[in-house]
């Protein structure tokens, strides 16, 4: 390999490298965000508590949900994403609805975007999302368990419901705590998306493989995408560190954190608390205890 080979490949196959990079970023971003969304719901399901006092019709769905999420996490964390992609690649065409049969190759977007969004890309997005969701489930679960229980109790004391406490109090702090781990999953997805070339997803590795065959400059093609992967991961790591640094600002009062969530309700609660406190102070002011010492040296209390 020489610099002439790299220069030749960059000048002739730039569109292919750019399309591959775009597809890789789409897979990593959508896969990470979609996996995080799955992880939020599945992580909450994994944290469900089955109480002894629950009725049988409550215990049953709770245990079933816990069992299903446990199976999902075990299955998709315990098998390689490449194998998952191959299974879905051969199983999906077997799905039939009457005369309709799913054909991955027939699905495509119109115009130039058909080169990006086609049946193979949609399948790749599905596989990387559910694979990432299994990892995100454990990440979010750990993040939620790391939030102080007093935060939820304080939220409920302000009148927030259980769902409002989850989405407005516990979950934002959990996401903040596990942000570096979520960012690491994004970096992993940038690199692991390369295995999806086996099901025809035209990401960066897929493009390099084709370019190597066409140009007979195998090492040069793979060296170029190695630098592209390195550049993408360095930028991603820098952005994640920047966001994490911005979030590590001095903590505000607990109530201030949630004014963006339900300002009218929280302001009403604070106003009510201040009114109650003022009335209590006013009532206390009517009876001011004064200690007087009598001639015999005994202390006597008088109320005014």
Percent of the chain with pLDDT over 90: 35
Q: C-alpha angle 145/150/153, rounded to 5°?
A: 105
Please give the structure tokens belonging to residue 64.
Answer: 């079933």
Residue 94 is predicted with a pLDDT of 78
User: Looking at 131-140, 217-226, 278-287, which range is the least confident one?
Assistant: 278-287
Give dist(CA 166, CA 152) in Å, integer: 8
pTM: 0.75
Structure tokens at 170: 């516990």
Q: Contact, 182 vs 139, CB < 8 A?
A: yes
- Tell which phi-psi region holds residue 189, choosing left (phi > 0), alpha (psi between -120 and 50) or beta: alpha
Instruction: Please tell me the distance from the alpha carbon of residue 129 to that of residue 283, in angstroms, as a whole number.
Output: 61
Q: Yes or no: say if 211 and 268 are a contact pair by the CB < 8 Å rule.
A: no
pLDDT at 98: 65
Q: Please, which residues bridge with residue 97 across strands? A: 100
**Which has more pLDDT, 233 or 289?**
233
Asked if residues 43 and 141 have their Cβ atoms less than 8 Å apart, the reply is: yes
Q: How many Cα atoms sit within 13 Å of 248 on the Cβ side?
A: 10
Summarize pLDDT for 255-289 with one digit per residue, the tens.
444 444 445 555 555 566 667 766 666 666 554 45
The H or E element containing residue 253 is: none
**CB of 123 within 8 A of CB of 203?**
no
Q: How far apart are CA 211 and CA 213, in angstroms?
A: 5
Strand partners, 301: 291
Q: What is the pLDDT of residues 79-91, one digit of tens each?
A: 999 999 999 988 8
């Amino acid at each position: 390999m020489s610099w002439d080979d790299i220069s030749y490949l960059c000048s002739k196959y730039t569109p292919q490298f750019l399309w591959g990079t775009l597809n890789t970023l789409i897979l990593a971003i959508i896969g990470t965000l979609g996996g995080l969304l799955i992880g939020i719901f599945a992580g909450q399901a994994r944290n469900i508590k089955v109480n002894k006092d629950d009725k049988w019709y409550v215990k049953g769905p709770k245990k079933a949900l816990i069992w299903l999420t446990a199976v999902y996490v075990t299955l998709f964390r315990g098998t390689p994403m490449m194998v998952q992609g191959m299974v879905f690649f051969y199983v999906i065409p077997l799905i039939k609805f009457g005369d309709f049969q799913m054909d991955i190759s027939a699905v495509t977007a119109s115009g130039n975007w058909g080169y990006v969004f086609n049946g193979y890309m949609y399948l790749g997005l599905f596989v990387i999302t559910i694979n990432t969701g299994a990892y995100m489930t454990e990440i979010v679960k750990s993040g939620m368990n790391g939030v102080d229980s007093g935060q939820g109790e304080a939220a409920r004391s302000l009148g927030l419901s259980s769902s409002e406490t989850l989405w407005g109090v516990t979950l934002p702090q959990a996401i903040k705590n596990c942000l570096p781990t979520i960012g690491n999953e994004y970096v992993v997805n940038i690199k692991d998306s390369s295995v999806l070339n086996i099901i025809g997803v035209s990401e960066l590795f897929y493009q390099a493989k084709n370019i190597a065959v066409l140009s007979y400059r195998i090492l040069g093609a793979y060296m170029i995408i190695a630098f592209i992967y390195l550049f993408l991961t360095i930028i991603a790591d820098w952005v994640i560190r920047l966001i994490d640094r911005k979030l590590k600002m001095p903590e505000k009062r607990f109530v201030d954190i949630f004014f963006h969530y339900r300002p009218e309700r929280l302001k009403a609660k604070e106003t009510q608390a201040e009114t109650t406190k003022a009335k209590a102070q006013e009532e206390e002011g009517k009876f001011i205890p004064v200690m007087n010492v009598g001639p015999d040296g005994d202390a006597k209390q008088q109320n005014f």
